[in-house]
A and B are shown apart, each in its own frame.
Chain A
Amino acid sequence: MFKLERHTDISRKTSGLIVFLSLLLAFFVTGIIFYLLNVDVIQFYLIICNVFITPALLLQVVFRSIPIILASLGLVVAFRMGFWNIGAEGQIYMGMIAATGMVILHVFYGAIPASLMLVVMGAVSFLAGGAWCLVPASLKVRLGVNEVLTTLMLNYIAMLLVDYLVYGPWRDPEGWGFALSIPFPDYATLTFGGHPSMAGIIISIAVATLVYVLFKYTKLGFMLSVLGKSGEVAKYAGIPVGRVTLLGSLISGGIAGLGGLYVVSGMIGRLRPRISPGYGYTAIIVAMLAQLNPWLILPAGIFFGGLLTAGDALQSSLRLPFSVITVFQSIIFLCIILAEFFRRYRVVLKR
């Protein structure tokens, strides 16, 4: 008979090793599945490695990882307070909508001076993403509606809202009838020294620092952590559970909204339907892989940004659909969850 014993305290080193081994397991399992489906597995992994060492592709990797990293940092806040925000995808879309809306307000109506554009876009996309997370949060606080299903549903609604806007009122009059918004003017584009990727890296590091500080030094961060560990104890300690939940979800969705801002304003330069290949869902995996540690989000996010980039390369070279990357991601996800088991329990052989 096997018996499970709970670890009371586990060292960081062991924990890291377990996660590393689970990643190896994911590579192995994926290899087997793809081998069975007649995929050239060696080639598959080579292409993925290649993404991280080819300079031109590496730039693409950074691009792709930034919305993931930002959404993931948002999720760190939500998950740490025990709020199952599965809605980062929708919150990213809302951030995109808000940013594009500001550009349209500016270009067509002359609102907002050009010099303030980026600041306003940042603020508004934060608020839009945050508001999109506030909806399920307030439903939870007020009525006790479970957030898992509501955040999921709102993803679809946000995606359709983008569709509506670019197919309808926001369609570029000079866009040859394509479903595209107008291109963003230069001063509404996120760059640093001419490099949009640099701007993204700076924003990511800045937000990661803020999230770190939030949990390490502030009262709000402490309240969020207590709430995440036990709602009952939080009430007992007199923490205003409702208000803290709302504030936390505003921050969580807001950071994801910044990810949306980066997609339209840093990567693409305009709004298109269905731009996100599931950044918001990948962000969930990244947050868990990084064990909700804001610093670890950065490398974990880059790894997954690489996977998404490899997805494109695989399409052209091995003629594989993008969904192979979804499969790979989900197997990594499962293995990370499995790692959680080994971090929690020790399996003991019992006589």
Chain B
Amino acid sequence: MSIEWIEPVLASTTSIGVVYLLGSLGEIYAERSGVLNLGLEGIMAIGAAISFIITIAWGHALAFLVASVFGMLMGFLLAFFTVSLRLNQIAVGLAITMLGSGLSGFIAFPTTRKTILQFLNPELPSTALEIQSAPMLPSVPLPFLKEIPIVGPMFFNHNIAVYIALMLAPMMWFLLFRTSIGLKIRSVGENPGMADALGINVFRIRYFTCMLSGVFSALAGAYLMLGFQPFWIEGMTGGRGFITLSLIILSTWSPLRAIFGSLLFGGIEVLQYRLQLFGLGATSPQFVLMLPYAIAVITLSLLSLESFRKRISAPAALAKPYYREE
């Protein structure tokens, strides 16, 4: 088998994997602190829609920035409902997912988008008001590194967002496992009552992680739009947020292992396209499209087997609201 076939597959694996990676980095923090952000899917959608519009109006850099601001706001909403008001995290997460997908569809809808674009940047040419796709992030191959067989195309021939995401993962790992703030976050997710007794502000930590998770979810959406699939389609996130939630379990809530989890699900998606190219599933592509969801279910089930479960322990206080007893 020639290497020419393998390399583009690996390259696109990384390309898609980064969507999952960005989403999981923030979500891991939220879950480690005891909050399940089921709104990930919707915040991703919002991130995609906003980055789509802002890129056209103001360019790439601001697109990522504005998307993260909106992500942070959604994270704040999540925190307010689940942390301050102690409401059910699953219900709130679902509501945020619906809100996100609805709002994204609405603001990216041609007429709304046109109004927003005109408001943001009155000088835009009329063609820019109508286009259905955003300019993609340019690819920045790294000299020398990109020449390494297999590893080069897989990791060093991408746009800048990919590099940043790949560098963020170890940094986020370090922050979580080797600093006092990380220790506090993990403790709050294991035993908030005890952390509180030691003078750690449980609410502040959870607000922080929720908002962080919002930011990263939105960045995942923005990257999906600008770095991977630049055409706007309503519902383009297509359950990737939910899949991210499963791969976090597979990665045992570790930002480093999330790289592998992300590449795994990225690979499955690439496999989809490849299989179709090879004629497998050409007549019925739906079965191939089911793969990520089916594999997520299977993974979740396998991970629940006795032998695995001993090694994997979810944060003990995950999805449990905390309140001080008087």
Contact = CB atoms under 8 A, between A and B. Distances in A.
Contacts of B101: 323, 326
A163 interface: yes
A212 interface: no
Contacts of A329: 98, 102
Contact of A160 (B88, B105, B286): B286
B139 interface: no
B304 A145 contact: yes
B143 to A, nearest CB: 41
A143 B111 CA distance: 49
Contacts of B286: 160-161, 163-164, 167-168
Contacts of A325: 102
Given A153-B293, A333-B98, A168 B283 contact: yes
B301 A145 contact: yes
B9 interface: no
Contact of B304 (A139, A152, A319, A333): A139
Contacts of A163: 286
A49 interface: no
A168 B242 contact: no
Interface in A296-351: 319-331, 333-334, 337-338, 340-341
Nearest to A282: B98
Given A4-B323, A334-B81, A152 B99 contact: no
Contact of B94 (A86, A323, A324, A327): A86
Contacts of A168: 283-284, 286
B109 A321 contact: yes
A334 B82 CA distance: 11
Interface string A138-181: 01000111101110111011001101100110000000000000
B232 interface: no
Contact of B81 (A144, A284, A331, A338): A338
B297 A330 contact: no
B194 interface: no
Given A148-B38, A330-B102, A153 B297 contact: yes
B233 interface: no
Contacts of B38: 148
A333 to B, nearest CB: 4
Contact of A144 (B94, B304, B323): B304
Given A157-B293, A167-B286, A337 B95 contact: yes
Interface size class of A (residues with CB under 8 A): 35 or more
Which of B88, B296, B300 counts the most chain A CB atoms within 10 A? Answer: B300
Given A143-B301, A150-B300, A337-B95, A324 B287 contact: no
Contact of A341 (B85, B103, B112, B287): B85
Contact of B102 (A150, A167, A327): A327
B90 interface: yes
Contacts of A148: 38, 90
Contacts of B6: none
A253 to B, nearest CB: 16
B150 interface: no
Contacts of B85: 338, 341
A327 B81 contact: no
A156 B240 CA distance: 11
A323 B87 contact: no
B239 A284 contact: no
B294 interface: yes
A334 B92 contact: yes
B91 interface: yes
Contacts of A146: 300
Contacts of B164: none
B115 A38 contact: yes
Contact of A156 (B92, B284, B293, B301): B293
B98 A323 contact: no
Nearest to B119: A38
A327 B239 contact: no
A281 B286 CA distance: 22
B105 A326 contact: yes
A84 B95 contact: no
Contact of A149 (B92, B104, B300): B300
Given A337-B88, A337-B91, A167 B284 contact: yes
B289 A37 contact: no
A152 B98 contact: no
Contacts of B301: 139, 143, 145, 150
Contact of A288 (B91, B99, B290): B91
B106 interface: yes
Nearest to A37: B112
A192 B5 CA distance: 60
A48 B323 CA distance: 40
21 contacts: A37-B107, A37-B115, A84-B90, A139-B297, A148-B38, A153-B294, A157-B294, A160-B290, A168-B283, A284-B94, A324-B102, A325-B102, A327-B106, A328-B102, A330-B99, A331-B99, A333-B91, A333-B98, A337-B92, A341-B85, A341-B87
- The 9 A-B pairs at the shortest CB distance, nearest first, are namely A323-B105, A326-B102, A330-B98, A327-B102, A164-B286, A330-B99, A143-B304, A321-B109, A333-B95
Interface of A: 4, 37-38, 84, 86, 139, 143-146, 148-150, 152-154, 156-157, 160-161, 163-164, 167-168, 281, 284, 288, 319-331, 333-334, 337-338, 340-341
Given A323-B104, A331-B99, 7 more contacts: A86-B90, A153-B243, A154-B297, A321-B109, A330-B95, A334-B81, A338-B87
